[in-house]
Amino acid sequence: MSAAAEHTFLFVDLAGFTALTEAHGDEHAADLAERFVSIVESELDGESRLVKTLGDAVLLVAEDPASGLRTCRSVLERLDREPDFPVPRSGIHHGPAVERSGEFFGSAVNLTARLAAQAHGGQVLATSHVAEAARVLGYPVVDLGEFALKNIAERVRLFDVHIGPRSDAIAIDPICRMKVDIDQAAGRLRVEGVDHWFCSLECAATFLRDHVS
């Protein structure tokens, strides 16, 4: 029987995937999820490995926080270069887990999933051990304070780790939550002085129907 061992866990998922499915349909969403997993796999260079896929999310494991952070940055930078793709969000935590037949079990895995769920699009949330490693690597780190997370008994101190691109030329379609390059957007609407950018004319029409009288 294997004992618990320390690992760094990384969840990456696609923010707004449910909204995207509603806007563009199940087949498009399934194709995009497959593309997402393929992209993540292409960025694994031996420092981290894929444990499992969960629809629009992947769980990766690394031996230490530095390796996990480097993998996260590589994945986020690659996804940023992909056209017509939702914005990813991530959670990274280092802690003990039991490995059985390539699967990992324990509170560390559960906490990592909660971090990713807490993050907004483009954000990487980490716990203290990972945040310390991020500072050593030179990544900007912001202490966000303690949070109550679903199904986690104690409050958890969270840190926003600034890795990966955050381009001012990128907007988020308010209907399907797809990442939109504003120079190539299918449409733009200004409502009460605020610009909204759209990946398709269908999303623009839905926005008009639902938000503009």
Domains recognised in the chain with CATH numbers: 5-161 (3.30.70.1230), 170-211 (no CATH)
Q: What is the pLDDT of residue 194?
A: 72
Give the position of tokens 């840190």.
159
One digit per residue, the tens of pLDDT, for the chain of length 213 reads: 567 899 999 999 987 777 777 777 888 888 888 999 999 999 998 889 999 998 889 999 999 999 999 999 999 999 888 877 788 889 999 999 998 988 899 999 999 999 998 888 788 999 999 999 999 999 999 898 898 888 888 899 999 998 866 555 577 778 887 777 776 788 888 787 677 878 888 888 888 888 765
